[in-house]
Amino acid sequence: MASTLAAWLAHGDDLISSDEDGSSGFDVLDESVEPEPLQPGTARPSQCNNTMPPNPTWFPWPDKQTCILDILRHLPRSLFSDSQLQVILWGLSVLGVDNIPSTRTLKDLDNSLQSQYGIPSVRYQGSLGHVYYVNHLPSIIAQEMANPWIRPHICHYPEDAGGRLEQAWQASRWLHEIDPSIATPMIRKGQQDFYVFELTKLTDGTMVIPERWYTKPSDSQTSFKVEYWALAWRARAVVNGRTSGYIVHAYDTINVPATQLLLSFPHLLQTYEMDHQADPRNIIGLIKTRGHGVLPWTLTDSTIGNRWRAQAQGHRVLNYMMWLYCDDTSGNISKKWNKHNSFLITAAGLPCVMVHKESNIHFLATSNIAPPLEMLDGIVDQLERAQTHGVWAWDVEAREMVLIIPAILAMLGDNPMQSELACHVGLQGKFFCRNCWVKGVDSGPATQALADGTVTNPVDDTHSVETRSHMSESDVSVCEDRLSKGKGRHSETMQDLVDRARQFLGTNAPRTRADTMNRLRSMFHDVASGMSKTRYAKMKAETGIKDTHMDVFVERIVKCVKGIRAGTDKYTEAVDAILQGRPLEEFMSPVWRIKGLDPHQDTPVEILHVILLGFVKYFWRDAISRLNDVQKAELQVRLASFDVSGLGIPRLAGQTLVQYAGSLTGHDFHAISQATPFVLYDLVPRECYEAFLALCSLVPLVWQPRIDNAEEHLSVLQAAIDHFLNCTARWTPRWFNKPKFHIIRHLPDHIQHFGPAILFATEGFESYNAIIHDHSIHSNRQAPSRDIAHGMARCHHVRHFLSGGRFHVRGPITTELPYSNDEHEWLAPGSGVQSLLNIDVPSFRNVIVDFFRLADDTVPTEAGELTTITLLYNGLSIKYTHQVHVYPTKSSPPIIGRLHEILQICHSSAQRWNQASSLLAKTFYVIGSAGTYHMPRIRPSSWVMLPAKAIICCVNVQHNCAGQGCTGSLAVPIYEEREKTTKTAQRIEHHDPSDLVLNTAQMRDAAHMQKFRIQVQQLERDQAIHTGAVAEINAQKLKTLKTLKAKPTRQSVSSSSTVLPARQPSVIPAHFINVFHRTGKPSCLL
């Protein structure tokens, strides 16, 4: 039977012909057809019998087959099980591939590579009793410094870029505020190393002490791109009898270029006597403020200088700044939640285009039992040791050993996680802001106006605010019934609304690290001295401070001393048994041990959850809840007709965005924020639409990756935030029960401190959670923290090999990093391994490059007819006749044009490289403002020929449907299963197609769009708040009046009832009368 089937597969047509001829096909098959024998690949000898020498081309793997299979096993987003691996090995063998390793061989080799070259996973027994594993942070840093793909891009010095703000090292946190002891402490000039906090002589003879180093863009035509500078304190010599030394005037600062540095501290020791100067080893003291006394010098041991000089042994010492991220994700394949808290890092010294690439995000730890602060304890242990002793690493660019000082620039995460890391009570507390002391509504009886449909707690951030005027009648009745059952509720007056909004949007004092630590010490000391748990909880509520790590020990103390009188010897013994003489800091959150970090001010606004998953989600759900079925159908048509060219997003699925408004993702809201002005203009009240316009105008400013003039941009951003909040207040102050409407006010400060908001956005980290999820699924769930850490470490060393990273043989796995200044001891992967990234197989994509995200972002132009042109800086393909573009001319500012033809001169260099020679475009000019959208209207003007390099970016334009009254009268066919059907769908038919509006809500290339931005009139805040409060109270009164009119009276119900016996109302108990009056149901009396 098998042979017959094989013959049919090979000669099906012949069999059919023989059947038609009446002959027996089966007889013919049995006599003449034999199956082709399989030739499986030869098996690999067992390890004990394998005498084949390793192939250096595929080092550190022994051969090509093992290399490829081991890489496939560690693709971050394509993990598979052992059984799936066996299927792959079987398939390769059947295809005739020789020397295929077994599953056991691959596992043994994997363990060997990990032990010799991999990142160790360190076991910790947490202070709360949980076991967890942390991948060795110094080893991760050392591998990055030895990675030729990454090392050239890492910045170690802050930069004074003038008004430009594009990278984290150009912002004030790194440039001015970071603790100098953990910043890069030295620069090398010629044969001298100059360190901070050491006396240095300038070329003019001045003695200074550098406090920090920074760079400036070079103005000269030399080969150097940057110049090194020092912010230095003046030092003045003091001679008192036989004693001589220096007093440092810290208030007298000067900026010194490196070209003026003459003698470093070691050279001063050799020359000061010959120059008749004071001994540089004797720093008498420090004067911080003019006119104040001299303080002792404690920054260094002045007799030996900066401690890093001795530890570096003549090598360079560099800072390695990091973003630290924490979030939770589920470890289950099902919808059942299995919370895994995870810590990730990425180098803050990488450029903006690289910092959030998946291959540059590194895993530290995860656990489904240990809370975040307990895991942070182990991470901080590694960080403290590294900051004390440094991390030795091979600098693949300088080809020498360097000593690295790691530091945390900021901690990232969503709002609840950032609050926990900052020892803050969270968004639902009375003091709901982790950055400042803004106060919300006092706890107690909830304040609830009848006009508010779903929100009962003004600081609750778990539901959208949908006022009763926006809800269906059924929803209103449900909410009314829910409110009527509450106790102690009262309606907010207009003055209550106004006061709450003013307080919400007012200026408040910032929280500080020192103040919070003092309060926590006081609270813990009071608990240990006998303060009740109730009083402790009240203190947390009154301050907004909540250290979840310390809470565990507080709970242990309260439980241990329960029933024991405070102040007695027995009470003291019980508390001492828990404290065990340990210092108080060991019971507090480990975040306070991170040097140079203020968790209140160094947890920047997370724009994904605050804006896209905050304001845009709130407003969109609110808008959808207002619409009836006819309006929703109209909105779906408008969304489906929306032109997405130039936005870099796919066409909008109108039905999905409307029908599932409550279940959308950040990607959906990313599109909604750019489309809303053109689809909601006549479907919602004007106040609501104006708030939407203000929000859509704000979003591009926030996501702008490059700021050319920081002062001007921050001023524009602050005005846009104020306008958005004022429009929201004019709509209804009820929105200000959402803490995010206050948190956004801190964004300008955070951009000034950390750089463009996209630098501390978390989309890349959120995407990385999927990798952690996959590793959890492919483990046996018995030791998730250990197994996931091991799996991530293996993926990391495979990435390092593929990148051509250098590594040193170090024997059994250990946390001691190798030290060798001999370049020959730092090995490189074989040429075959590094060539895997460059292999171009026709009709197949390079999965290695895709999965590890190691490819260059440049998108090459395909050969053939030039119907598109690709912008190399962002990879966006621009098609002719479809999109509108911005381009500059030499004599005029940038203008708008529509591309019509892409021209290429035959036999030119452009044709040789398949590039465009010139472009034919139709120019457009701005004719004013489209009043409805607050965006510029444009009209076609003339034709122009321009060079291809004149294009700056692609922009998005929309038709002025509001002005032309366009309707969904156009019918287009519907495709189902990729087949055209006879069904049709409505689309917008545009009148006067030349009446266009430039979409300044566009997020891509927003920096180039700002020059076309229409300035809107700012609202006065108090007036906006008052207007919104009046509208809210009037809506409340109107609803109350309508509700009372709709309810039947007791007399009408009694007169219409014929089944109840006659009863006098006066004898009905009061609570029966109330029930009867509220429900209108006679059965309530029975």
What is the secondary structure of 249-274 as a DSSP string? EEEEEEEEEGGGEEE-HHHHHHHTTT
CA–CA separation, 957 vs 647, rounded Å? 10
Q: What are phi and psi of 242, to 5 degrees?
A: -85, -10
Q: What are phi and psi of 289, to 5 degrees?
A: -130, 140
Number of residues assigned to the chain: 1086
Handedness of CA 474, 479, 482, 485 (dihedral sign): negative
Q: Helix, strand or coil for residue 120?
A: coil
CA–CA separation, 468 vs 472, rounded Å? 8
Type of residue at 949: K
CA atoms within 13 A on the CB side of 470: 24
Q: What distance lies between CA 1015 and its chain's CA centroid?
A: 30
Residue 994, by phi and psi: left (phi above 0), alpha (psi -120 to 50) or beta?
alpha
Type of residue at 443: S
**Cβ–Cβ under 8 Å, residues 199 and 283:** yes
Predicted local confidence at residue 844, as pLDDT: 62
Predicted local confidence at residue 221, as pLDDT: 53
- Angle of helix 533-543 versus helix 513-528 axis, rounded to 10: 170
DSSP 99-130: SBPPHHHHHHHHHHHHHHHS--EEEEE-TTS-
Query: How many CB atoms are closer than 10 A to CB 259?
Result: 11
CA–CA separation, 1053 vs 1047, rounded Å? 10
Type of residue at 796: H
Strand partners, 991: none
CA–CA separation, 557 vs 566, rounded Å? 12
**Cβ–Cβ under 8 Å, residues 420 and 372:** yes
CA–CA separation, 548 vs 372, rounded Å? 10
Q: What is the chain's Cα-based Rg?
A: 35
**Cβ–Cβ under 8 Å, residues 470 and 622:** yes
**Cβ–Cβ under 8 Å, residues 433 and 739:** yes
Residue 35, by phi and psi: left (phi above 0), alpha (psi -120 to 50) or beta?
beta
pLDDT, averaged per 10 consecutive residues of the chain (1086 residues), comes to 46 48 46 64 64 80 92 86 88 88 91 91 94 96 96 96 94 96 96 96 95 88 75 92 87 95 95 89 93 92 94 96 94 82 96 93 95 96 97 96 98 96 94 93 45 34 37 34 45 84 91 96 92 91 95 93 87 90 92 96 96 96 95 95 90 95 93 96 95 96 94 96 96 93 96 96 92 86 91 93 90 78 92 83 63 49 47 53 56 78 78 76 88 92 82 88 89 89 90 92 89 89 93 87 72 44 38 34 34
Strand partners, 964: none
CA–CA separation, 362 vs 796, rounded Å? 8
Predicted local confidence at residue 155, as pLDDT: 97
Predicted local confidence at residue 873, as pLDDT: 46
The token pair at 680 is 């909601």
CA–CA separation, 1078 vs 257, rounded Å? 81
| Residue reference for tokens 């656990």 | 367
Torsion angle of C-alpha atoms 101, 107, 113, 118, degrees rounded to 10: 150
Predicted local confidence at residue 1048, as pLDDT: 62
Q: In whole numbers, what is the pLDDT of the chain averaged over residues? A: 83
CA atoms within 13 A on the CB side of 790: 15
Q: What is the spatial order of strands in the sheet that 243-257 belongs to?
A: 261-263, 200-202, 207-217, 226-240, 243-257, 283-287
Query: How many CB atoms are closer than 10 A to CB 996?
Result: 23
The 10s digit of each residue's pLDDT in 626-641 is 999 999 999 999 999 9
The 8-class DSSP code of residue 279 comes to -
Q: What are phi and psi of 123, to 5 degrees?
A: -85, 140
Burial class for 1044, CB neighbours closer than 10 Å (0-12, 13-18, 19+): exposed
The 8 Å CB, 24+ separation contacts for 456-462 are 456/483, 456/486, 456/489, 457/428, 457/737, 458/500, 458/736, 458/737, 459/427, 459/428, 459/429, 459/430, 459/432, 459/737, 459/739, 460/428, 460/737, 461/415, 461/427, 461/428, 461/738, 461/739, 461/740
The token pair at 616 is 């845009």
The 10s digit of each residue's pLDDT in 368-414 is 999 999 999 999 999 999 999 999 999 999 999 999 999 999 999 99
The 8-class DSSP code of residue 398 comes to T
Type of residue at 1083: S
The token pair at 1078 is 């509220």
Predicted local confidence at residue 493, as pLDDT: 84
From first CA to last CA, the distance across the chain in angstroms is 82
Q: Where are the alpha helices (DSSP H) in 803-931?
A: 831-835, 847-852, 909-912
The 8-class DSSP code of residue 810 comes to -
**Cβ–Cβ under 8 Å, residues 640 and 654:** yes
**Cβ–Cβ under 8 Å, residues 147 and 796:** no
Mapping DSSP onto H, E and C, the string for 416-482 reads HHHHHHCCECCCCCCCCCCCECCCCCCCCCCECCCCECCCCCCCCCCCCCCEHHHCCHHHHHHHHHH
Say if strands 996-998 and 957-959 run parallel, antiparallel, or are unpaired.
antiparallel
Say if strands 996-998 and 967-976 run parallel, antiparallel, or are unpaired.
unpaired
